[in-house]
Structure 1
Amino acid sequence: MSAVRDDQPGSGRMSHFLAVLSAEGLKLRTLRSTWWNLAAVVALSVGIGFLYGSVIKGNYADFGAKPAFDAVGYGFAGTNVAQLALVCFGVLAVGAEYSAGTVRASLTAVPRRGVFGAAKLTAVAVTAFAVTLPTAFLTFAVAQTAMGERQNASLGDPGALRAVVGLAVYLTLLCLISAAVTMMLRSTVLSLGILVPLFFIVSDILASLPGVGAVARYLPNVAGVQLMRVTPDDRIDVDAWGALGVLLLWTAVALCGGLATLRRRDA
């Protein structure tokens, strides 16, 4: 089999993309906000998971004795707070360049805006998944240990492994949506001002309202809860795979909007 030459068009484009991706990864590593936000994701997920597990252990009659008790879902309760740090990571990973004005230099170095945007979003997604996947397994282990043997779950239980991986996928997609929205809005403050209330306040209120709730239940953060549970959430009419489809649809819309804005608007 002959070797692929570097001067071939496809190989050249891939090499160029990988070079830009490497540069975007370096940018993320040099941002202090990256380390603080990702450390907060780990600390909050594991710490709150341990607290929930400890509380549940001391209240077996109220939790573990019930047939519908979802030990995996309760163990991941801390991610409701931890995902705030991940949203901030996604926003700052993109918005920092717009705030500092360095995006102009980046676009001068990489004139092909589609390549630049795709590399930046890929770097955000890879970094987020590299952190959230081990965090999901660690949180599961700590929370289930804290619950005690009478009511905890094991990784071999039906749906447990799917929920652990599903948590990492959900958090990664939520981070990617946040980054893409920031690419559309080109403002850290505006993006955080919209995404934080939407994901953590407004969505829960809307989901509980008659009429509007039927649609609001399919917002990304509401549908994403289904991925990290073994027992389905009654608020949503789709299973875990359906919820994944909802999340992927939101992600695709956000990515298309972010990349289209980057290509059409001046820096």
Structure 2
Amino acid sequence: MTATTHPLRAEWVKVTTLRPLWTTPLLAAVLSVGITTAVQLAYGKVDTSLTEDPMVGLYYGLNFGQVAVACLGILLIGQEYATGTVRTSLTAVPDRARFYRGKLLIGAGLGLAVGLATVAGSALATAGTVGLDLDRPGAVRALAAGVLYHPLLVVLCLGLTTVLRNLTAAMGLLTPTLFLGTTVLSALPGLREVAWILPDRAGLHALRLGENPDVPIGHTTGLLVMLCWTALAAYGGLRVLRRKDG
């Protein structure tokens, strides 16, 4: 039990005492729910694109809030590389697998909490403005996928930041690549199929109800694709952490 709880306690202390680590998840939830609420109030009853597939409107704010979710994953370990405190952390927990596991568990837990708050808040906002029919086929699956998207994204970015071992590089490369880059790719003929198997596009597809003939994967498959990317990133981070000095 000590082998598991010692790194977790250390990571929890960091999250609760370092301002960026506890304000970022709050910002993510507030952005997602706040923007969804504002858009539903302003356009929910007049913009059919928000109601034909109700999850488009419900998750509208997630298009912005997910940037903060990604930043949370980056900061969880990138901040230690930036300040050099990763060496102190590895001295306190010499077993790098244990240290990394603590990071992943805390990141996944925070992501899950943000996911639950975001989906619940956005669902309430949608139900209170344009209405939300949870009896529609796939509605429960889409809500569950929305919750799981958050911890997967946090762990994905945490793992990739560990591979890069640099906060600035992670912030400068991951956020535009994950969000702007994949959006551009999905609009280019011949590259759309590739874009839909990238982590954020595949994960966001799992949040929809309607079928899209241009998407070569199913909704559940989309979440599984994102899970595979996340597992690869986490494994890559562990390999780099074991081979490189802090």
TM-score when scaled to structure 2?
0.94
Q: 2:113 aligns with which of 121, 124, 130?
A: 130
Structure 2: how far apart are the matches of 1:124 and 1:143?
28
- For residue 133 of structure 2, what is the aligned residue in structure 1? 154
The within-5 A match list for 1:224-243 is: 224-243=203-222
**Matched residue SS, 1:158:** coil
How far apart are the structure 2 equivalents of 1:121 and 1:18?
A: 13
Are the equivalent residues in 1 in contact too, given 2:159–2:234 (CA < 8 A)? Answer: yes
Equivalent of 2:92 in 105, 109, 116? 109
Task: Name the CA distance, whole Å, in 2 between partners of 1:25 and 1:185.
Answer: 23
2:235 aligned residue (238, 243, 256): 256
Map 1:144-183 → 2, pairs under 5 A? 144-147=127-130, 152-183=131-162
1:63 Cα deviation (Å)?
Answer: 4.7
How far, CA to CA, are the matches of 1:63 and 1:120 in structure 2?
A: 39
Maintained 8 Å contact 1:71/1:144: no
**After superposition, what is the alpha-carbon deviation per residue over 1:61-116, rounded to whole angstroms, capped at 9, x for unaligned?**
x457x8xx111222211000000001111101111111111111111111111111
Question: Match for 1:237: what amino acid?
Answer: P
- CA–CA separation in structure 1 for the residues paired with 2:94 and 2:171: 28
1:199 aligns with 2:178: yes
Preserved contact between residue 159 and residue 230 of structure 1 (Cα < 8 Å): yes
Looking at structure 1, the residues matched to 44 and 72 of structure 2 have their Cα atoms a distance apart, in angstroms, of: 33
Report what 1:10 is aligned to. none
Number of matched residues? 246
* Bigger mean CA offset, 47-56 vs 217-226: 47-56
1:80 to 63, 72, 78: 63
The answer for unaligned runs of 5 or more in structure 2 is: none
1:33 aligns with 2:23: no
Query: Which structure has the bigger radius of gyration?
Result: 1
Q: Which residue of 2 aligns with 1:23?
A: 10
Change beyond 3 A, Cα 1:94–1:232? farther
User: Which consecutive residues of structure 1, in runs of 5 or more, have no partner in the other structure?
Assistant: 1-13
Secondary structure at the counterpart of residue 218 of structure 1: coil
**Do 1:203 and 1:219's aligned partners in 2 also have CA atoms closer than 8 Å?**
yes
SS in 1 for 2:206: helix
Partners of 2:233 and 2:212 in 1: CA distance: 25
Give the alignment of 1:182-221 within 5 angstroms: 182-221=161-200
Q: Tell whether 2:226 aligns with 1:247.
A: yes
Root-mean-square deviation (CA, aligned residues, Å) is 1.7
Residues 104, 63 of structure 1: CA spacing in aligned structure 2 closer, same or farther, 3 A cutoff?
Answer: closer
Asked whether the equivalents of residues 46 and 135 of structure 1 are also in contact (C-alpha less than 8 Å), the reply is: yes
Change (3 A) 1:120 1:52: same
Residue deviations 1:173-205 (CA, integer Å, cap 9, x gap): 111111111111111110011111112211111
Cα distance in 1 for partners of 2:95, 2:177 equals: 33
Contact 1:53–1:145 (8 Å) recurs in 2: no
- Letter of the 1:53 counterpart: Q
Q: Distance in 1 between matches of 2:68 and 2:194?
A: 26
Query: 29-38 or 231-240: which moved more?
Result: 231-240
Q: Distance in 2 between matches of 1:238 and 1:30?
A: 42
Partners of 1:24 and 1:207 in 2: how far apart?
A: 37
Q: Which residue of the partner structure matches residue 83 of structure 2?
A: 100
* Residue 143 of structure 1 pairs with residue 130 of structure 2: no
Contact 2:111 2:154 (C-alpha < 8 Å) held by counterparts: yes
AA aligned to 2:65 is A
Q: Percent identity?
A: 35
Q: Distance in 2 between matches of 1:157 and 1:218?
A: 26
